[in-house]
Amino acid sequence: MPGAATLRLVVVDDHPLFVRGLELLLPIATDDRVQVVGATGDAAAAAALVNRCLPDLALVDLHMPAPGGIRAVAAIRRTTPRVRVVAMSGSTDPAPALEALRAGAEGFLPKTSEPEELLPPLLAVLDGWAVLPAELLRAMLRPTHAASVDLDGEERRLLRAIAAGRNTVDIAEELHVSERTVKRMTAALLRKLRVSSRAEAAAVAGHTGLLTE
């Protein structure tokens, strides 16, 4: 859509041809709605680059030389928590993707994605949604202990809001509490469900029926 806001993107990937391809093709494929404003092939430098560029979103390859993509994701989330992170991998193994979600990534996309296919999921992540391939979602939906977790009414309202992709500000308004309280409640809920991210909480709750009880 001409005139739409530009999505500023930092790419963390040690494959120069892949990075250059995104730099060249993303603006063309998205009518200039996505712009790569920085890139590095050094996972250790990822957080500093993101802090310097302050993009809307960081795209991080999980299979990089030490310290690796998982630590890059965690470092970015720790130093610039307002920047969304999407992990990428050319592997079909779900384990690294799940680790990335636990480290703070809001989504995962396969590196086989075509440039023109990237805009909708990236925009969805910016809107607060978790974006996952079907195969990874199925891996996350395997039975867990969550079915036996006893949640009170307020915890269920919070979980429903998280599953709906609501952000902290909106949840605070809905529950009539402060943003700090929402963050505290969310941390406690994740511990109770024994998961590490909102995406995991929504997945296990949806699978075990906690959202409909």
Per-residue pLDDT tens digits for 153-182: 888 889 888 888 888 999 999 999 999 999
Domain ranges of the chain: 7-139, 141-208
Mean pLDDT, rounded, of the chain? 86
Statement: residue 151 has pLDDT above 60: yes
Distance separating alpha carbons of residues 149 and 96, to the nearest angstrom: 27
Mean pLDDT of 124-139: 81
Q: Which top CATH class is 141-208? A: mainly alpha
**C-alpha closest to that of 101 among 213, 208, 203:** 203
At residue 1 the predicted structure's pLDDT band, cuts being 50, 70 and 90, is: very low
**Position 191 confidence tier, pLDDT thresholds 50, 70, 90:** confident
Given a cut of 90, whether residue 142 has pLDDT beyond it is no
User: Cβ(135)–Cβ(125) under 8 Å?
Assistant: no
- 137 or 105, higher pLDDT: 105
Whether 141-208 and 7-139 are alike in CATH topology: the answer is no
Phi/psi of residue 111, nearest 5 degrees? -70, -5
Main-chain phi, psi angles of 72, to 5 degrees:
-65, -45
β-strand partners of 107: 86, 131
Nearest by Cα to 50 from 27, 78, 28, 14: 78
Two tokens at 91? 């592997």
At 121, which amino acid appears?
P
Q: Which two tokens stand for residue 73?
A: 């994701």
pLDDT at 190: 87
What's the pTM value of the predicted model, to 2 decimals? 0.65
CATH T-level assignment (fold) for domain 7-139: Rossmann fold (3.40.50)
Percent of the chain beyond pLDDT 90? 46
Q: Is the pLDDT higher at 200 or at 108?
A: 108
In contact, 132 and 140? CB cutoff 8 Å: yes
Q: Is the sign of the CA dihedral 118, 115, 27, 97 positive or negative? A: positive
- pLDDT of residue 2 exceeding 50, the answer is no
Mean pLDDT of 130-158: 73
**Mean pLDDT to the nearest integer, 16-40:** 91
